[in-house]
Structures are given as structure tokens and as C-alpha cells.
């Protein structure tokens, strides 16, 4: 039996995530794969406070290199967790785990509700990135305003995390009302518009006393193609995703609208096409 002195020291969740993200940064950097760290771990860097330490590390990955990074990490001992099948559309998270790490590594290539398209959204966020050096490695992180947007996004981490975010919404809103200047609020609204994400973060924008006007953003062909694994996108596909990918309070009737659009079978085949 091991004595207390001979047991390996316990690593905090925060330190464990920092170490893992630093390792991923080294692997990705060696291959020129861009990513940004998100989630509560970057709050402190921006002078914000996260309500709790999550058990996962969130990375927003260049969509054109996501598959390559996943393969590389699998070769390094990471294992993919089975995706949830409780939703109609394919999951937007690739969740990985490995021995020796108590948490989960969540990789995002598509951000639900950022309708400009996966690659364009990444490039916009990349231009606003910041940087930290946990465990000695340089790690790109989401900028301050994108961090606020992701905190307000209610569908990034599956059903469980959505419930947690909903519980923390008023906490986030009160904090951001005090932390964001008038100029930053205006920049936040402009950023949401440039990402086609005003509907996705609508509650937060309204809570920050911002006026929303103009028609809701329509999903781009690039967004729909990536979301459904399609080479050719029809207007029916765009309409169906426009219905399904908005927050619940902003959706049209379902399933009648989707079925009538003629896109139902293409939606149901999306998981098979994307291999999830």
C-alpha cells in the first residue's frame, strides 16, 4: 500500500487544464494549426470573473485544420468521446479525453448561430485574439469581447452546460454591465453583427441596453454546407438551418416548417455525411 508521501501529487483542475492546453499549443504550433482558448479560464486575463472552474478546456480551432488536429491528438493518446444523439443536427463539439487528465478537451470548428460561416467567423475572432503563457507555452486566447459573446452563448457545451449557462446568465449580465464601457458595448454589437450572431447573443445585447434593429441574419451558404456536410446548398437547406439554429425563443414552428421546406431528409442525413 502506498504511503501518503509516495502518492502522486494531486493537480488542480485549473493547473491540469493549463498543462493540457500548453501541450496542445506545442503540438498545434509545430504544424502551424491555429486555435484560441476560450471558456472561464481566460476570464481573469480580461479582468472578468468566471462563476466556477469548469471540468473542460475549450479550444476554438481553425475549421480547415480541425480534422488534422484531431488526428494528431488521437495519435498522442487522446480518445474521442461519443457524440450525443439527443439533437437533430450534428454536434458542433469534438470532445476528447485521455488517461491522466480528469477533464475533457472540447474542440470547436463551428460555432452554432455564427451565421457568416465557420472559416470567416474564425478569421474575425483570430484578429481579436490575445495571448497567455500558462505552463510556459504561448497560447492564443479569445479577446475580451468574444469572451463576453461566448459567455452569453447558450448552446456551446451540450444540454448540461446550457443549463449551467442559463443559471449564470444574470451573473454574467450584471458583471458585463459594470465591466464594459459604452464604447465596448457598441463594439460588441458591431462584432455580433459581423459574425451574423445577433440572434444568438440577443438577450445579452438587450441586457446591455443595446438597440437591435434590422432583419435577422440569414445563415450563409458556407455555414449551412459545413453544418450539414453538403457540397451544394439549396434555399430549403438555408431556411431549415435558419429555423433550427436560432435560440428557441427566436425559432419558427418546427417540425412543420422544416418538413415543408423539403430539407428534412438532408438534415437527417447530416450525421452520416459528417461521420458522427
| pLDDT at residue 77 greater than cutoff 60 | yes
Determine the pLDDT at residue 154.
60
Q: In the numeric block, which cell numbers belong to residue 27?
A: 503540438
170 against 63, higher pLDDT: 63
- Do 172 and 256 belong together in one domain? no
Determine the pLDDT at residue 160.
41
Please state the rounded mean pLDDT for residues 216-241: 89
Question: How many CB atoms are closer than 10 A to CB 276?
Answer: 15
- Do 14 and 115 form a contact (C-beta atoms < 8 A)? no
Residue 140: its H or E element: strand 139-141
pTM attached to this predicted model: 0.86
Distance (Å, rounded) from C-alpha 57 to C-alpha 38?
A: 8
Q: What is the chain's mean pLDDT, rounded?
A: 83
| pLDDT at residue 206 greater than cutoff 70 | yes
Residue 214 is assigned to a structural domain of this protein: no
- Do 16 and 137 belong together in one domain? yes
Please state the rounded mean pLDDT for residues 223-251: 84
Determine the pLDDT at residue 170.
85
Determine the pLDDT at residue 219.
94
- Do 267 and 194 belong together in one domain? no
Task: Check which CATH number belongs to the domain holding 153 and give it.
Answer: 3.30.460
Determine the pLDDT at residue 6.
42
- Per-residue confidence at 245, pLDDT binned at 50, 70, 90? confident
pLDDT tens-place string over residues 98-155:
988 888 999 999 999 999 999 999 999 999 999 998 777 889 999 999 999 998 886 6
- Do 151 and 240 belong together in one domain? no
Domain count, the chain: 2
Q: In the numeric block, which cell numbers belong to residue 44?
A: 481573469
| pLDDT at residue 54 greater than cutoff 50 | yes
- Do 131 and 141 form a contact (C-beta atoms < 8 A)? yes
Residue 21 is assigned to a structural domain of this protein: yes
- Do 74 and 176 belong together in one domain? yes
- Do 67 and 191 belong together in one domain? yes
Determine the pLDDT at residue 72.
95
- Do 269 and 149 belong together in one domain? no
Residue 58: its H or E element: strand 56-61
- Do 246 and 172 belong together in one domain? no
Query: Which domain-ending residue is among 173, 207, 241?
Result: 207
pLDDT tens-place string over residues 246-255:
876 665 554 5
Count CA atoms within 13 Å of residue 109 on its CB side. Answer: 20
Query: Which domain-ending residue is among 184, 207, 230?
Result: 207
Distance (Å, rounded) from C-alpha 142 to C-alpha 35?
A: 9
- Do 152 and 240 belong together in one domain? no
Q: In the numeric block, which cell numbers belong to residue 174?
A: 450584471
Determine the pLDDT at residue 123.
97
124 against 82, higher pLDDT: 124
Please state the rounded mean pLDDT for residues 32-56: 87
| pLDDT at residue 159 greater than cutoff 70 | no
Please tell me whether residue 38 adopts helix, strand or coil conformation.
strand
Residue 6 is assigned to a structural domain of this protein: no
In which domain, by residue range, is 250 found? 221-274
Amino acid at each position: 500500500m502506498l504511503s501518503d508521501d509516495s502518492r502522486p501529487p494531486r493537480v488542480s483542475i485549473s493547473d491540469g487544464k493549463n498543462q493540457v492546453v500548453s501541450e496542445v499549443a506545442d503540438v498545434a504550433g509545430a504544424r502551424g494549426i491555429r486555435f484560441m482558448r476560450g471558456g472561464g479560464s481566460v476570464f481573469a486575463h480580461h479582468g472578468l470573473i468566471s462563476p466556477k472552474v469548469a471540468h473542460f478546456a475549450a479550444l476554438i480551432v481553425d475549421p480547415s485544420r480541425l480534422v488534422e488536429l484531431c488526428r494528431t491528438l488521437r495519435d498522442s493518446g487522446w480518445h474521442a468521446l461519443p457524440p450525443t444523439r439527443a439533437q437533430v443536427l450534428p454536434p458542433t463539439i469534438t470532445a476528447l479525453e485521455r488517461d491522466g487528465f480528469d477533464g475533457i478537451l472540447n474542440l470547436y470548428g463551428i460555432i452554432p448561430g455564427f451565421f457568416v460561416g465557420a472559416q470567416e467567423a474564425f478569421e474575425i475572432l483570430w484578429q481579436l485574439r490575445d495571448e497567455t503563457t500558462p505552463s510556459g507555452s504561448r497560447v492564443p486566447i479569445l479577446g475580451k469581447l468574444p469572451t463576453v459573446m461566448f459567455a452569453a452563448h447558450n448552446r456551446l457545451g451540450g444540454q448540461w452546460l446550457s443549463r449551467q449557462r442559463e443559471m449564470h446568465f444574470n451573473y454574467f449580465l450584471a458583471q458585463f454591465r459594470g465591466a464594459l464601457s459604452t464604447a465596448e458595448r457598441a463594439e460588441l454589437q458591431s462584432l455580433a453583427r459581423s459574425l451574423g450572431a445577433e440572434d444568438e447573443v440577443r438577450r445579452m445585447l438587450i441586457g446591455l441596453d443595446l438597440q437591435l434593429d434590422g432583419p435577422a441574419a440569414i445563415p450563409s451558404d458556407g455555414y449551412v454546407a459545413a453544418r450539414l456536410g453538403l457540397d451544394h446548398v439549396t434555399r430549403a437547406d438555408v431556411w431549415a438551418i435558419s429555423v433550427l439554429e436560432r435560440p428557441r425563443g427566436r425559432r419558427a414552428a418546427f417540425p412543420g416548417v422544416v418538413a415543408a421546406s423539403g430539407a428534412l431528409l438532408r438534415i437527417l442525413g447530416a450525421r452520416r455525411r459528417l461521420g458522427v
